[in-house]
Structure 1
Amino acid sequence: MFETITKRSFRFNLLVAIGLMIVLAILFFSLLGVITRHNDTLIVPDVRHKNVKEAILLLEKAGFEADVRDSIYMDSIPALAVWEQQPETGAEVKVGRTIYLTVNKVVPPMVAMPDLEGLTFRSAEMTLRSRRLNVGDTIYKPDFATNTVLEQRLNGKLVKAGKMIPEGSNITLVLSSGTGSVENPVPDLVGMTYLEARETLNASNLSVGTVLIDAGVSDTANAFITQQVPARRNPLGELNMVRAGESVDIWLGAVKPVKADSAAPPAAPVDSSH
């Protein structure tokens, strides 16, 4: 055969080679659609919020491949549920296309609790969202700074800034409602322990202001109130009045003070018959 080819002219052989290439090209392009399944397309089903195992089985039965690409934590869906899929639901793609899945984590990551005290409600809400935390209940309490955060709580307990908590936690905010419009007498704190005074002020919707501590005090909680501003009464003996949300400054001492009205027994009545 080689001798036959070599006996023919170069031009003839070239034409034969070109003809073969054309025939092969025609065959290739005519079969390309079959090889690549060009016209075989499917609609991507919706597997969001389904368990990842269920989602993979559903996709494989529908003629797709499935691959878990990433994970995220969302408290609104169950653990190991599909949060996102690419291509998205309803997309028309080729048979056998890989669908990439983003799955919800089993254990939420931990984040540091931000310091919200003193922030406005709007700022506190934005700060929580930036840490992937949620605003839970809001409780209003009388105080001067209207609509600012007084306390931050998790599961009913105060939570300090910097404490590591689960992402997605609901944070309860205690907010200031401003001072009240009704005036009430200042409670008499002198002689109480610091803990007793705080409870009394809380019951009256008042707060502890400045606390001055004597040098001899070693146990602040059980130290005694020796002085307060405003006092229970003014120099004329009239009751001082305060509004809910205001504060009372106190002085702490190690020794329980003796009140002026109990320092001496009442004077004996004078007998005018003599």
Structure 2
Amino acid sequence: MFEFITKRSFFINVLAAIVLIVVLGAIFFATLGIITHHGKTITVPDIRGKNVKEATEILGKAGFEATVRDSIYADTIPALSVYDQAPEGGAVEKVGRTVYLTINKTIAPMVQMPELVGLTFRSAQMTLESRRLKVGDTSYQPDFATNTVLKQVLGGKPVKAGTEVPEGSAISLVLSSGTGNTENPVPDLTGLSFAEARDALTASNLGIGTVLTMGEISDTAAAFVVRQSPTRVNAQGDINTVRAGETIDLWLSAVKPSADSVHP
């Protein structure tokens, strides 16, 4: 009798366990659609350009989660604004899906200024864009290599390659316009200091070519021009001419030439 009761209790327990599993399974599958929002979709709001706090609230009210995934710097929108989102605004997604945000940084990161002098305008533009920099104002001055960069300027001052500048900075470029068509008299530089000769050439839209020294010179800027090529006057006594953008070679000395050796 005891053995019969024990066996009967065991089978009842097994049966009760099976019934319980079936009931729990039925409840689980019945509520699965509610838990996962199966079949329930909604349009993702476009929150680009909005402050991250406001964007998170908008997404939350619409039934989405918001997570900051990345950050970038752009000077076209305010700091801490949403630069990009995934999924994009207008996409139809399940309620409860996470929308990943890319946020605009508060401070522009620093990047190294590249060397642009000697590059064509197109190459300089591509180089700046690769560093997240922009082309600012462009101006021209006569020089041999047409449309190549002669100077790179930031804030009105020349900026050297390797200098740390804020990302997004606008770099102004001075480009070569080529040599001019008009012939102008060669300026007489003999007897001038190198600094004075350099200013005179700049004023005439001419460049400095090869610079050679004669004897020991401690201060190049204070050295004197004792010879130039081309000279102002040729062997026939006629004044030589040059085009804007061309260069003049200079010979420098620490001793100022005598008045007799200076051409009128």
Normalized against structure 2, the TM-score is what?
Answer: 0.89
Task: Tell me if 1:130 matches 2:130.
Answer: yes
Residue number in structure 1 paired with 2:221: 221
Mean CA deviation greater in 205-214 or 253-262: 253-262
Residue number in structure 2 paired with 1:7: 8
Kindly provide the amino acid, as one letter, of the partner of residue 258 in structure 2.
Answer: V
Q: Percent identity?
A: 61
Residue number in structure 2 paired with 1:143: 143
Q: Structure 1's 5 and 129: CA in aligned 2 closer, same or farther, altered over 3 A?
A: farther
Taking the aligned partners of 2:234 and 2:162, their CA distance within structure 1 comes to: 44
Normalized against structure 1, the TM-score is what?
Answer: 0.86
Paired residues for 1:154-233 under 5 Å: 154-233=154-233
Number of aligned residue pairs: give it: 260
Mean CA deviation greater in 36-45 or 178-187: 36-45
Taking the aligned partners of 2:70 and 2:39, their CA distance within structure 1 comes to: 31
Taking the aligned partners of 1:20 and 1:261, their CA distance within structure 2 comes to: 118
Taking the aligned partners of 2:192 and 2:10, their CA distance within structure 1 comes to: 123
Kindly provide the amino acid, as one letter, of the partner of residue 43 in structure 2.
Answer: I
Q: Given that residues 154 and 171 in structure 1 are in contact (C-alpha distance below 8 angstroms), is that contact kept between their aligned partners in structure 2? A: yes
Q: Structure 1's 29 and 229: CA in aligned 2 closer, same or farther, altered over 3 A?
A: same
Q: Deviations over 1:75-117 (max 9, x none)?
A: 2222111111122111222323222211111111111111111
Q: Given that residues 125 and 135 in structure 2 are in contact (C-alpha distance below 8 angstroms), is that contact kept between their aligned partners in structure 1? A: yes
Taking the aligned partners of 1:204 and 1:79, their CA distance within structure 2 comes to: 47
Task: Tell me if 1:40 matches 2:40.
Answer: yes
Q: Given that residues 71 and 102 in structure 1 are in contact (C-alpha distance below 8 angstroms), is that contact kept between their aligned partners in structure 2? A: yes
Q: Given that residues 120 and 147 in structure 1 are in contact (C-alpha distance below 8 angstroms), is that contact kept between their aligned partners in structure 2? A: yes
Q: Structure 1's 262 and 231: CA in aligned 2 closer, same or farther, altered over 3 A?
A: closer
Residue number in structure 2 paired with 1:248: 248
Kindly provide the amino acid, as one letter, of the partner of residue 53 in structure 2.
Answer: K
Taking the aligned partners of 2:59 and 2:51, their CA distance within structure 1 comes to: 12
Structure 1 segments unaligned to the other structure (5+ residues): 264-274
Taking the aligned partners of 1:239 and 1:48, their CA distance within structure 2 comes to: 67
Residue number in structure 2 paired with 1:267: none
CA RMSD of aligned residues (A): 2.4
Q: Structure 1's 262 and 234: CA in aligned 2 closer, same or farther, altered over 3 A?
A: closer
Q: Structure 1's 79 and 8: CA in aligned 2 closer, same or farther, altered over 3 A?
A: closer
Q: Given that residues 142 and 177 in structure 1 are in contact (C-alpha distance below 8 angstroms), is that contact kept between their aligned partners in structure 2? A: yes
Q: Deviations over 1:227-268 (max 9, x none)?
A: 1100010011100010001000111111221233779xxxxx
